[in-house]
Structure 1
Amino acid sequence: MARRVYVHIGAPKTGSTFVQNVLWSNQNVLRKAGILLPGSAVAHDQAMADLRAAHWRDAGVYWTWDRLAEKARRWSGDVIISNEGLGAATGAQAARAIESLQPAEVHVIAAGRDLWRTFPSTWQQSIRARSTWRFDGFLRAVEAGRFDTFWDNYTAPRMLRRWGDLVPAAQRHLVVVPPPGAPRDLLWHRFAGVLGIPDGLCELTAPTSNPSLGAAESELLRRVNQALGDRHPLRTPYQKVVQRHLVDAVLKERANDLRFGVGLDRAAWVCDLAEQQIAEIRDYPCTVVGDLDELRPTEMERTVSPDELDDGQLLDVAIETIVAMLGHADSLGRRAEGQADEMLSRLKARAAGGVKRRLRLAGRRS
């Protein structure tokens, strides 16, 4: 039976990719220290989708939530489960998850980030999940209270309450994402302290993240999503084609130097929201790792909006993207040809070996 299970539930775009990369690259080291990461990152993602009964989940996958929970229960030490999509579970789904991990001592970990950075990254994440709305339309929906999903699924306070209310106060944790300019390993050290990972146990490679797209690249992807219609739906078909061949292979590799963000005309609104969040978390019994003041926006500078780009700018990016995709397609073709040649060489070598063996046997018989 597991002693403690730490469930890291998100929110998305709070450095989870970096933290998870450190965890999975040190999986064997952690196991020797008595800390289990059951399965793989894919297993945690499949289990998350199963728990949430998401409409885009793949049917018949190996890793269900119950399978992951069973593996966790069989471990005798501590267990870590991490997927930023878990925070979007309903209250009933969260209750099912917590119950399935007991009688272990279950800890819930959420992460919070300042809203000035959260808004653009959340919109971009929605575009990379096949959405088609404009950036200003997204902001206006949140501003007018027409997009409650943002607060439920992309910010810490509500997801922390849905999950945290199911465990004692001492087992609820909020990790604050450090502000811009902070040491890049500070986020890891904050998480490691909650997870009970001794300092220095894990090897930290250069911090990695899920690279952000620039304004032009995000708007180009939005328009591609519009043009797709019913082709390549979420989740796996879109990931296998659009995410793999356009986003990962080309758009992420661009300089993406035209950054975008919330306009200064909304700065006061964002600051007011930040104060509301800070007050809400202060009133909620949980352990805060970091400083709640770091949830106040900093470096509120004017940036361009993807909506402001003209068709000429997008045309230039689109042409460069097509050229890059041609190079990507060529490299895939060369790789396939190389694999085919290698397989043919192996088959020829095997056939030649078989002929030699038959000749030797024939010679012995004669």
Structure 2
Amino acid sequence: MPQRVFVHIGAPKTGSTFVQNLLFGNADRLRRAGLLVPATFHAHDQAMTDLRQVPWRDVNLHWSWDRLVESFARWPGDVVLTSEGLGAATADQARRAVESLQPAEVHVVVAARDLWRTFPSMWQQTIRARSTWPFEDFLKAVELGRFEGFWDEYVANRMFQRWGDLVPAAQRHVVTVPQPGTPHDVLWHRFAGILGVPGEIDDSVAPPSNPSLGAPEIELLRRVNAALGDDYPHRLPYQRVVHRHLIRAVLQERDNDVRFGVGLDRAGWVSELAERQISELRDYPCHIVGDLAELRPHRMDGSMSPDDVGERQLLDAAVETIVALIGHADSLQQQLIKEPAGMLSRVRRGLRRRLVS
């Protein structure tokens, strides 16, 4: 049984992809240092889906939570599990997870980010998960207390307490996400210090984190989601089609230079929320890595809302996206033309080797 198990539970949009890429990309090196990153990220994600009983995320589960735990049952060192979706587990689900990992010493790790950046990032995440609500509707729902799920599932404080209450204070860790302009490896060094592994690892294995879309691009995607109707209702089919061929292949490749964010009319509200967030984390017995002051908005500006994108601007983005999709389709067609010939050559070489032997 492992000595310690570190459970990284999120929160979403706190550099999770960057940290996970480094963990899985350096799995062999970390294993030699005594830290096991079991299986694959896909296995962790499926285990989270099983634990939370949300089959709409993945209708073809191959990894259950119990199967993932069994995969490292004989490992004598430390283990790290990571999925930003774990933080949304209910109290009972979190308890089941922690109990399944004992008698190992279970540590809970959560990352916290300032709300000024979290709001637009989190709304964009919901759109990229097939939601259709306008940005202003999202903000109003949070502001008026009609979307408590935002605090329960996407912000460190509540999710951390649901999990943290299950372990001693010394085994609860909060990592604050550095403000813009900080060297990108600072976040990793903060995680590495908790895990007790060397901070100097191969960061070339970590591709750029999931880049944000600009205002016209995310508004275009929102309208595409609405037009899809009942098509691709589950997470994996949507990812395989829309994420792969529209978001990653086209929308993320655009300039995306028209940024969006919370308007200055809500600056006071966000600042008050930030102070409340800082106070709650300061009062909760835990190990803080970084500085809670980083949860205060660093620089507030008057970014536009995607709701305010003009129809002409949206039309231009749509036309350019169609042109890029045509190019993407053509490149896929060329790959299909080349691949059969390559496969035929491999079959012929295999037949020759059998005839010679």
Distance change in 2, residues 1:132/1:71 (3 Å) = same
Alignment partner of 1:259 is 2:263: no
Q: What is the deviation of 1:176?
A: 0.2
* Partner residue in 1 for 2:178: 178
CA distance in 2, matches of 1:117, 1:58: 29
The DSSP-based 3-state class of the residue aligned with 2:6 is strand
Equivalence map 1:258-297=2 (5 Å) = 258-297=258-297
* Partner residue in 1 for 2:190: 190
Distance change in 2, residues 1:274/1:336 (3 Å) = same
- The answer as to whether partners of 1:21 and 1:208 remain within 8 angstroms in 2 is no
Distance change in 2, residues 1:194/1:207 (3 Å) = farther
* Partner residue in 1 for 2:66: 66
CA distance in 2, matches of 1:146, 1:324: 39
Q: What is the deviation of 1:70?
A: 1.4
Q: What is the deviation of 1:255?
A: 1.1
User: Sequence identity, in percent?
Assistant: 64
The DSSP-based 3-state class of the residue aligned with 2:110 is strand
* Partner residue in 1 for 2:121: 121
Which letter maps to 1:281? L
Equivalence map 1:1-366=2 (5 Å) = 1-200=1-200, 202-205=201-204, 208-349=208-349
TM-score (norm 2): 0.96
Distance change in 2, residues 1:339/1:171 (3 Å) = same
CA distance in 1, matches of 2:353, 2:110: 59
For structure 1, which runs of at least 5 residues remain unmatched after alignment? 359-366
Q: What is the deviation of 1:263?
A: 0.1
The DSSP-based 3-state class of the residue aligned with 1:180 is coil
- The answer as to whether partners of 1:129 and 1:234 remain within 8 angstroms in 2 is no
CA distance in 2, matches of 1:97, 1:261: 36
Which letter maps to 1:211? P
- The answer as to whether partners of 1:130 and 1:234 remain within 8 angstroms in 2 is no
- The answer as to whether partners of 1:106 and 1:167 remain within 8 angstroms in 2 is yes
- The answer as to whether partners of 2:107 and 2:172 remain within 8 angstroms in 1 is yes
CA distance in 1, matches of 2:352, 2:158: 67
Q: What is the deviation of 1:61?
A: 2.6
Which letter maps to 1:63? W
Q: What is the deviation of 1:123?
A: 0.2
Q: What is the deviation of 1:72?
A: 2.9
Q: What is the deviation of 1:115?
A: 0.2
Which letter maps to 1:251? L
Distance change in 2, residues 1:75/1:349 (3 Å) = closer
- The answer as to whether partners of 1:184 and 1:207 remain within 8 angstroms in 2 is no
Q: Higher Cα Rg: structure 1 or 2?
A: 1
CA distance in 1, matches of 2:123, 2:57: 22
The DSSP-based 3-state class of the residue aligned with 2:344 is helix
CA distance in 2, matches of 1:343, 1:29: 35
Distance change in 2, residues 1:137/1:344 (3 Å) = same
Q: What is the deviation of 1:348?
A: 4.3
CA distance in 1, matches of 2:57, 2:295: 33
CA distance in 1, matches of 2:313, 2:21: 35
Q: What is the deviation of 1:353?
A: 6.8
Distance change in 2, residues 1:347/1:133 (3 Å) = same
Which region of structure 1 is more displaced relative to structure 2, 219-228 or 279-288? 279-288
The DSSP-based 3-state class of the residue aligned with 1:56 is helix
Q: What is the deviation of 1:283?
A: 1.1
Distance change in 2, residues 1:221/1:288 (3 Å) = same
- The answer as to whether partners of 2:188 and 2:199 remain within 8 angstroms in 1 is no
- The answer as to whether partners of 1:177 and 1:187 remain within 8 angstroms in 2 is yes
The DSSP-based 3-state class of the residue aligned with 2:199 is coil
TM-score (norm 1): 0.94
Q: What is the deviation of 1:208?
A: 2.5
Distance change in 2, residues 1:218/1:347 (3 Å) = same
* Partner residue in 2 for 1:364: none
For structure 2, which runs of at least 5 residues remain unmatched after alignment? none
Q: How far does the alpha carbon of each residue in 1:127-185 deviate from its partner, in whole angstroms, 9 at most, with x for none?
A: 00000000000000000000001000111000000000000010000000001111211
Which letter maps to 1:151? W
The DSSP-based 3-state class of the residue aligned with 1:178 is coil
Q: What is the deviation of 1:25?
A: 1.1
Which letter maps to 1:345? S
Runs of 4 or more consecutive aligned structure 1 residues displaced over 6 Å after TM superposition: none
- The answer as to whether partners of 2:7 and 2:106 remain within 8 angstroms in 1 is yes
Which letter maps to 1:16? S
Which letter maps to 1:217? E
CA distance in 2, matches of 1:290, 1:243: 33
CA distance in 2, matches of 1:178, 1:166: 27
- The answer as to whether partners of 1:50 and 1:65 remain within 8 angstroms in 2 is yes
The aligned length equals: 356
Which letter maps to 1:41? F
- The answer as to whether partners of 2:59 and 2:234 remain within 8 angstroms in 1 is no
Instruction: Give the root-mean-square deviation of aligned CA atoms.
Output: 1.5
